[in-house]
């Protein structure tokens, strides 16, 4: 059966490679007129090839010995799943430092949120940073996770010990849309960025000093700038997890944040008359990375560049823009995951059926022999929920059922509630997130609906594949890089209802062919992406940044 079925899998691939993306940016491509840009899409060979190549184990053999030498790395983030998580950054910040720790001395820096202060971990004060400009003084605490990961926490109760998420209040967790972001977020995250810079420069009185900063998303964007403005060449890696969230604040805040006025220009932190933390990170970092090879290309175009495509094209031309995909950790194993109702493997589907039965009972669906579709997502425009809502009637009429899980924009949540009322027993909308139930839903579902308008990397499709749920997704960003159409899932090319429905219809057809369906599920489960695959490309990038900083320091002498 296996050989025949797998050949059938290959035969149901989509033949269309043309993709169309929706223009969601709110600003015009102003930066294209700046001297450092042109209007051309960056060819693939201009990107850092060692990390955009699909064969991530390819390295320059001359650097083998250097890659094996450990580096001291401070990984700076605003989320870590161990304590506080809003989105995928929390998962990345928990898993990636641990994967890298096999070869490097990696420690994490994060604000001391209420959840961390009230946890069972002992926090020992190990350093202090004085006030700077309008940023308050703070202490640096240290806690050690049970597996040995050292986490530095920025102790500043007036900034971080609040009820809510790291970014604000409201259902989406990001302080955007109908949510209320903290009105001092610029101060809160400038404090984090300045602390990272000062630790790197040895100003925090710690007994450990990093050789390199790895910074994540807009909230850490001022850290490379603070290093630069102090006249140092400590290497900095700045990772863009989602360019759409940029940390834009009023220019009147410059002095309060200790930003030199001569940095407020198109080649510095200025963004359409405002201040952009994201732009600061891109401008001043030694290397800029993002979380998939395709997204690294997409953000150099006006449709995905959010007004920064010109700057990002320049970085790509300089060899300073790379794409390294995220991964998943060993906990995502259907044979051992304790969250599941029953374990299973690609050789035994009984456990998967048991999880499906549980999901139907738990979420109030009627017993069914039809396919079970899952949507586990933030409920925002980016995720294409409008297309899934439009497709829901056809899915139900064809014998399918849908469970939605997530929260976000109020009007999307309301539309899902109404949809569940319209199709009782066939559609359920769970507004919120529950890790236990989410894992059961990944394990019990047959298909994951993920028609994102853009997706820098995405983790849900990897979780689904590992648990034998085939993703149906828009061919964009990390979705294009991690889903093999017709083999480990289904891709559609243009963000139109008809194209999406065609992919769903293909999924229904495969579901009816048991051998083909099982072959695809088996292929998805064995083709997972793991964080271990990221060690070599990140190690090479760290080495490149360190050598670059050394060369710049030598030239300055």
CA separation for the pair 46, 216 (Å, rounded): 23
CA-angle at 482, arms to 481 and 486, nearest 5°? 100
Q: Which tokens sit at 500?
A: 């999406």
Nearest by Cα to 214 from 138, 277, 289, 150 = 289
> For strand 427-431 and strand 401-406, is the pairing parallel, antiparallel, or unpaired?
parallel
Question: Phi first, then psi: what are they for 333, rounded to 5°?
Answer: -135, 110
In whole angstroms, give the CA distance from residue 161 to residue 112: 7
Residue 241 · residue 217 · CB < 8 Å: yes
What's the rounded Cα separation, in Å, for the pair 401 and 493? 24
CA dist., res. 214 & res. 60, Å (int): 22
> In the sheet where 270-271 sits, what is the strand order?
248-249, 274-276, 270-271
408, 489, 412: which is closest to 450 by C-alpha? 489
What span, in angstroms and rounded, lies between the C-alpha atoms of 532 and 99?
6
85 is in an annotated binding site: yes
3-state secondary structure of 398: coil
Rounded distance between C-alpha atoms, residue 219 and residue 185, angstroms: 9
DSSP label at 437?
A: H
Residue 166 CA: distances (Å) to CA of 134, 159, 239, 299: 20, 10, 18, 26
Packed helices 222-229 and 185-200: angle between N→C axes, nearest 10 degrees:
50
Annotated binding residues = 85
Annotated binding residues for ADP-alpha-D-glucose = 85
């Amino acid at each position: 059966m296996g050989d025949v079925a797998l050949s059938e899998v290959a035969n149901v691939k989509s033949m269309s490679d043309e993709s169309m993306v929706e223009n969601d940016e709110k600003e015009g491509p102003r930066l294209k007129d700046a001297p450092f840009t042109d209007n051309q899409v960056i060819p693939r060979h201009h990107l850092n090839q060692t990390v955009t190549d699909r064969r991530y184990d390819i390295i320059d053999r001359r650097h083998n010995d250097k890659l094996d030498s450990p580096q001291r790395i401070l990984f700076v983030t605003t989320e870590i799943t161990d304590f506080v998580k809003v989105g995928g950054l929390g998962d990345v910040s928990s898993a990636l430092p641990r994967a890298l720790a096999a070869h490097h001395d990696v420690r994490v820096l994060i604000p001391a949120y209420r959840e961390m202060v009230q946890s069972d971990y002992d926090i020992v004060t190990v350093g202090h940073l004085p006030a700077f400009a309008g940023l308050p003084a703070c202490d640096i605490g240290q806690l050690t996770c049970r597996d040995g990961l050292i986490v530095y926490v920025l102790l500043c109760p007036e900034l971080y010990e609040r009820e809510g998420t790291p970014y604000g209040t409201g259902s989406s967790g990001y302080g955007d849309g109908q949510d209320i972001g903290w009105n001092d977020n610029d101060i809160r995250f400038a404090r984090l960025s300045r602390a990272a810079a000062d630790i790197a420069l040895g100003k925090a009185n710690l007994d450990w000093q990093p050789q390199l900063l790895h910074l994540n998303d807009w909230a850490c964007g001022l850290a490379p700038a603070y290093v630069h403005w102090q006249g140092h060449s400590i290497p900095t890696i700045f990772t863009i997890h989602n360019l759409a969230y940029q940390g834009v604040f009023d220019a009147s805040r410059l002095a309060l944040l200790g930003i030199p006025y001569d940095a407020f220009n198109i080649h510095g932190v200025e963004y359409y008359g405002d201040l952009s933390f994201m732009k600061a990170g891109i401008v001043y970092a030694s290397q800029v990375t993002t979380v998939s090879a395709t997204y690294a290309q997409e953000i150099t175009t006006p449709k995905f560049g959010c007004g920064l495509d010109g700057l990002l094209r320049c970085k790509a031309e300089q060899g300073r823009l790379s794409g390294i995909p995220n991964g998943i950790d060993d906990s995502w194993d259907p044979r051992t995951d304790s969250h599941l109702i029953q374990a299973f493997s690609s050789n035994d589907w009984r456990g998967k059926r048991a999880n499906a039965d549980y999901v139907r009972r738990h979420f109030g669906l009627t017993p069914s022999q039809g396919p079970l579709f899952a949507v586990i997502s933030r409920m925002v425009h980016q995720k294409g929920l409008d297309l899934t809502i439009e497709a829901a009637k056809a899915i139900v009429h064809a014998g399918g059922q849908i469970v939605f899980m997530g929260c976000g924009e109020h009007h999307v949540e309301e539309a899902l509630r109404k949809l569940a009322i319209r199709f009782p027993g066939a559609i359920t909308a769970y507004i919120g997130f529950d890790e236990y139930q989410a894992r059961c839903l990944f394990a019990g579902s047959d298909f994951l609906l993920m028609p994102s308008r853009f997706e820098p990397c995405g983790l849900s499709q990897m979780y689904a594949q590992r648990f034998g749920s085939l993703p149906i997704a828009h061919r964009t960003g990390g979705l294009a890089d991690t889903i093999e159409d017709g083999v480990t899932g289904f891709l559609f090319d243009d963000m139109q209802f008809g194209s999406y429905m065609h992919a769903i219809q293909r999924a229904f057809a495969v579901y009816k062919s048991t051998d083909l369906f099982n072959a695809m599920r088996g292929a998805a489960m064995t083709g997972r992406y793991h964080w271990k695959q990221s060690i070599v490309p990140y190690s090479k990038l760290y080495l490149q940044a360190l050598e670059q900083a050394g060369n710049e320091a030598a030239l300055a002498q």
